[in-house]
Amino acid sequence: MAANRPALTRYLIERQRAGRINADLRLLIETCARACKAIGFQVDKGALAGVGASLGVQNVQAEDQKKLDVVSNEILLEANEWGGNLAALASEEMEVPAQIPSAFPRGEYLLLFDPLDGSSNIDVNIPVGTIFSVLRCPERITQPDEACFLQTGRAQVAAGFATYGPSTILVLTVGDGAHGFTLDPYMSSFVLTHPDIRIPEDTSEFAINVSNMRRWEPPVKRYIDECLAGKDGPRGKDFNMRWVASMVADVFRVLSRGGIFMYPRDAKHKEGRLRLMYEANPMAFIVEQAGGAATDGSTPILDIKPKGLHQRIAVVLGSKNEVERVTSYHVEK
Ligand code: F6P
């Protein structure tokens, strides 16, 4: 039984033995998983810990900062600063990268994270999560600045996200498939429950914030109009719609049963809504590893050359054939 369902530690040791990751990257992933457990425990406390409380200030994204956004950021920083495997860290909650304190050795990796994705949902007890991405630090750099982080998503060596929902689940890739681990709260251990996740190529479920419809570009409007027309329209079948408004939960659903998730550019979100470096890139890496596709409407997310640490981007990801259809509508426009 144990051999069928290895714990995260065993899974990572086996990836190391297979030469897929080194000891430093293994420690880094284990540390992120431990930090996710700690954040998950805080999320679980809910109103008892005042987690939804607003701090009355805005983060670098001009979004209302919650107490738990800040707590989650601190948990990830403190967990990762001393391991000797990181050169610097960047977060949604910090305008510029954090350096490794001089008391600790510096390592070869760069870590980016969104400590609490979907945090506007905390008050209403809807799943939130943590997203992270790992890059290599360019050689001979001692104080990595923002420019060191601006690598394409294809350069990622690992990516993962946790959802704090009915159960806490960690989805991870080190470039050889996407795998899901469920937290056993009694053992405090992540157990491999969703090995080698595959996204079905076809789907009849879409996820988009329809309240933005009047601002969409024509290819997106055409795609959703056709889904809504269902059996009576050109698609000849009915579509279902889901929108949790927590990217981690929406993407986990797509990984679990297929679907297309879209946050396109529109007249209000001119660059898109989601962040390239610590939301779109890690999710695109995971989705591609699961056999899905992820684009900004035309270009694969992982091939986009970043312009800034907090850059926003349009996202269309999920079941391959639907993502390709949306791309073809952008080409035809
Ligand atoms: O990036 C933040 C985020 O909360 C995502 O998790 C989610 O997909 C999106 O924003 C929701 O946006 P909206 O509030 O426009 O539906």
Q: What is the pLDDT of residues 133-152, one digit of tens each?
A: 999 999 988 889 999 999 99
User: pLDDT tens-digit profile of 188-202?
Assistant: 999 999 999 999 999
- The finding on whether 288 has its CB within 6 A of some atom of ligand 1 is no
Which residue did the predictor score with more confidence, 66 or 37?
Answer: 37
Confidence of residue 332 (pLDDT cuts 50, 70, 90): confident
Using the mean position of ligand 1's atoms as its centre, give its distance from the Cα of residue 29 in Å: 25
Q: Pinpoint the residues of the chain covered by CATH 3.40.190.80.
A: 205-332
User: pLDDT tens-digit profile of 148-177?
Assistant: 999 999 999 999 999 999 999 999 999 999
Q: Rounded to 5 degrees, what are φ and ψ at 189?
A: -135, 135
Locate the ligand 1 atom nearest the alpha carbon of residue 246 and give its number: 6
This prediction has a pTM of 0.95
Single-letter code of the amino acid located at 224: I
Q: Pinpoint the residues of the chain covered by CATH 3.30.540.10.
A: 8-194
CA distances (Å), 154 to each of 281, 298, 303, in order? 8, 16, 7
pLDDT greater than 60 at residue 2: no
- The finding on whether 129 has its CB within 6 A of some atom of ligand 1 is no
Using the mean position of ligand 1's atoms as its centre, give its distance from the Cα of residue 90 in Å: 20
Average pLDDT on 298-325 reads 98
Using the mean position of ligand 1's atoms as its centre, give its distance from the Cα of residue 2 in Å: 37
Q: Rounded to 5 degrees, what are φ and ψ at 287?
A: -65, -45
How many residues are given for the chain?
333
Cβ-contact 133, 277 below 8 angstroms: yes
Eight-state DSSP code of residue 113? E
- The finding on whether 246 has its CB within 6 A of some atom of ligand 1 is yes
- The finding on whether 163 has its CB within 6 A of some atom of ligand 1 is no
205-332 is a CATH 1.10.2020.10 domain: no
8-194 is a CATH 3.30.540.10 domain: yes
Single-letter code of the amino acid located at 125: N
